[in-house]
Amino acid sequence: MAFMKRDVNIGLLILIIAAVIVFSSFSVYYQSTFKNVSLEYQNKLEQLSQITTELSKQKQELNQTYTLRTKIEEDKKTLDVKYTEVRDENNQLSSDNTNLRLEVSSAKSQLAEAQIELENKKVQLAQTQADLATANSKISSLNSDLDDVCAALIATGGTHDECD
């Protein structure tokens, strides 16, 4: 029994040493694996931090882009309204311009007609003045003849109402 006791103690010792070696091996393996997982976790955490920072920058850029887009749309609407107003005003001015050109053309034709009428009136006036001058000449001639007749009548001793 002593032999068995000894073998059992040695067997137990070998089992304990084997268990310690296996436990130590597993501990070293798990520690190494944990260290690798921990390093990988740290790397992934750093990558996540970088991605978060990049995402934050992208979000800011997106917000700026959205703000610019909104402003551009507002400016576009404002410009569309102003363009419509200017186009309407341009159409109105074009219409006014056309109307004024028609009025100027009408006024020119009326002026031409008035000038022709004035020339006709000048010709009529000149003719009337010539006729008046002729009539005045005849009246002077007739007055002279009347004076001669009245003188002859008075010389013969006669009288007439026109010869006074």
Take residue 123 and report the two structure tokens written for it: 């010709």
Take residue 132 and report the two structure tokens written for it: 């008046």
For 146, counting Cβ atoms within 10 Å of its Cβ (0-12 exposed, 13-18 middle, 19+ buried), the class is: middle
Contact of 153 with 163, CB cutoff 8 Å: yes
pLDDT at 77: 94
pLDDT by residue, tens only, the chain of 164 residues: 455 555 667 878 888 999 999 989 989 999 999 999 999 999 999 999 999 999 999 999 999 999 999 999 999 999 999 999 999 999 999 999 999 999 999 999 999 999 999 999 999 999 999 988 998 888 888 878 777 888 887 788 777 676 76
Whole-angstrom distance, CA of residue 151 vs CA of residue 93: 83
Whole-angstrom distance, CA of residue 68 vs CA of residue 8: 86
* Secondary structure (DSSP) of 16-51: HHHHHHHHHHHHHHHHHHHHHHHHHHHHHHHHHHHH
Q: Where are the domains of the chain?
A: 39-163
pLDDT at 111: 92
Q: 3-state DSSP call for residue 33? A: helix
Which residues, at least 6 apart from 143, have a Cβ–Cβ distance to it below 8 Å? none
pLDDT at 86: 94
Identity of residue 63:
N
